[in-house]
Structure 1
Amino acid sequence: MRWWKMLGLAGIMGVAATGVVIARAERRRRAYTPEEIRTRLRERVHQADGRSS
């Protein structure tokens, strides 16, 4: 039964690590100012228009 405990601990650690990665990405995403977001979106639209032509 010891290997079940190890497997459970590994699963819990995996879930915790995933949560940390998601939290970091969310913090990084929220760090943009509204003007930076608008600028990035306009750049994406401009690139997409260039590809479709």
Structure 2
Amino acid sequence: MRAWKLLGLAGILAGVATGAAVARDERVRRHYDAGEIRERLHQRHDEAVARESADGSTAG
């Protein structure tokens, strides 16, 4: 029975740690203004297009 209690406690602690990590990431993310987010999204899109065109050119 004690093992189940420890396992449950470990699960609860893992949930709390995950929640704390998500909250920290959310705080960091909110520090960007709209222009910075737009710029980063455009950059990621350009990288994805470049990767896709590189993959497509070798497949043909």
| TM-score of the two chains, using structure 1 as the length reference | 0.78
Unaligned runs of 5+ in 2: 55-60
Q: Distance in 2 between matches of 1:5 and 1:48?
A: 47
What aligned pairs does 1:11-26 form with structure 2 within 5 A after superposition? 11-26=11-26
Aligned residues: 53
The residue number in structure 2 matching 1:33 is: 33
RMSD: 1.5
Deviation per residue, 1:1-53 (Å, 9 max, x gap):
11111111111001101101111111111111111011112222322333326
| Structure with bigger gyration radius | 2
Unaligned runs of 5+ in 1: none
